[in-house]
Amino acid sequence: MRMKCNSITKVSVNETQTINEGVTKVGDINNFEIFHIKHEKFKTNCIELFFIDNINEKTVTQNALFPAVLGRGCKKYPSQKELALRLQELYGASFNYGVTKKGEYQIIFFHIDYVADKYTEDEEGKIFEACLDFIYNAIFIPRVENSAFNKEYLQQEKHNLKNRIQSRVNDKMQYAIDRCFEEMTQNEPFSLYEYGRIKDLDIIDERSLYEHYVNAMKTLPGYIYLSGNFNSSQIDEVKDKFSQAVRDNVNQLKGTVIKPQRPEPNNITEKMNINQAKLTLGFMTNIEPTSEQYYSLMLYNSILGGGIHSKLFQNVREKASLAYYAFSRLEKYRGLMIIGSGIDLGNKEQAFKIIMEQIEEMKAGNISEQELQVAYKSYDTGLNSLKDNQINVIDYYLGQKLIGIEQSFEMMLDKLKRVSVEDIVEVAKGIGLDTVYFLTSEKV
């Protein structure tokens, strides 16, 4: 069934809005916002679609499942083999899909990248047209049988999703981080895993998932990012193509509410069959990502635990030899900070003591100008390295869009460069310990 809506009102294809030197908004069409990240650096072009939902118990598992079912085949290419053969015909184009999470937003994405026309024998844009047609068909014209997804495909993808959720425990470091976040945000949307819940899978069938998919494609806010060398006529083709999709009554997203830490830290101990314990500390930063203080927080994090130059690495791992690794990480959308460490089973109290000493050192202002400069240089190197990957660049600008900031890499670096030691100390004083999560051995 081809999904069309002939009542869509189109925005003029000539309307553009330069957001900054990195990205230009090239139109609003059919409840999609379309952006162009122009560059000559890469030999590939990318088309990426994002559908954004407020993560919630009712839809989290279905949102994780239906992109995988779509990836098994569409009406035009009804199997993975036929999809793969078509991509191979398009000079080995790559098609990817899935879900991720930013704060309390669950993001469904579809991505195709292909060799730019000027690097092929095609000088008429036919590779672009074919890839645009491919991704549109894969998303909006699925393989449907009696108003339902293919039953065999659904059962296979339910099995795959169950395995993926269960496999979370295989990476103990990430598992400990996830569990600490979940304990910090109990009964809040942020605590949900972006791939959903195993208990939901039994009640999802091919008809209910298809109905959910149709509703999601109609109502979820959508963003289209074009990365590469697209001319104006190709941008117009993108607008024309996606104006055919059924889009109506698009939902309004709810913003994330940043809450303060609890009066006394919560202590959680979990036991598994492991030889190396994971001590994970969760902190509330009390800083929103739109705040000017966020740039001070970024440098605070780098100095505290952002690399081999950091206080955690140098004092907990190197000098005290108490940890196999020790780092800090920000979750900017929810105002959280995690300190993760891998330690011997009997070193919890010692490791906790020295980690907290580093927190106090930051609050006391024991930060040198050299530490500040190394932290800035670390971000300078990291942000510039992001530019070497098209997907990372798109992800950066999507993240900026979701928090309502229009800022290039250069603008962010400029704000980081203006941060002083005093600014960092001010941020440090507002950071509070919320949760202590300890993953240890069953034998202890």
Q: Which domains does the chain have, with CATH numbers?
A: 17-242 (3.30.830.10), 266-441 (3.30.830.10)
The pLDDT, as a whole number, for residue 261 is: 75
* Mean pLDDT score, 137-161: 97
Contacts of 48 (CB under 8 A, 6+ apart): 109, 110, 111, 112, 224, 225, 227, 391, 394
pLDDT band at 443 (very low <50, low <70, confident <90, very high): confident
Q: Averaged over 99-122, what is the pLDDT?
A: 91
Nearest to 47 by CA among 321, 306, 282, 241: 241
* Confidence check: pLDDT of 21 > 70: no
- pLDDT, tens digit, for every residue of 41-65? 889 999 999 999 999 999 999 999 9
Report residue 124's pLDDT band, with 50, 70 and 90 as the boundaries.
low
- Strands (E) in 55-186, as ranges, are 94-102, 105-115
Kindly give, in sequence order, each residue whose CB lies less than 8 Å from that of residue 220, ignoring residues fewer than 6 positions away.
51, 52, 53, 108, 250, 251
Q: What is the pLDDT of residue 96?
A: 97
Return the pLDDT at 433: 97
pLDDT band at 118 (very low <50, low <70, confident <90, very high): confident
**Alpha carbons 151 and 290: distance in angstroms, whole number:** 45
pLDDT, greater one: 435 or 443: 435
Q: Are strands 266-272 and 432-441 parallel, antiparallel or unpaired?
A: parallel
Top pLDDT among 195 and 123 is at 195
Task: Inform me whether the pLDDT recorded for 361 exceeds 90.
Answer: yes
Mean pLDDT value of segment 219-247: 96
Give the pLDDT score at 1: 30
- Residue 5's pLDDT is 31
Check whether 242 has a pLDDT greater than 90: yes
To the nearest 10 degrees (0 to 180), the angle between helices 369-386 and 409-417 is 180
| The token pair that represents 332 in the structure block | 């900017």
CA–CA separation, 25 vs 104, rounded Å? 25
Of the chain, the percentage scoring pLDDT greater than 90 comes to 87
Q: Provide the 3-class DSSP secondary structure of residue 202.
A: coil
Q: Choose the weakest-confidence range: 90-94, 261-265, 325-329, 332-336.
A: 261-265
Residue 156: its pLDDT value, please? 98
Average pLDDT value for residue range 169-177: 97
Per-residue pLDDT at 259: 77
**Stretch 239-268: mean pLDDT, rounded?**
90
Average pLDDT, the chain: 92
Question: At 16, phi and psi to the nearest 5?
Answer: -135, 155
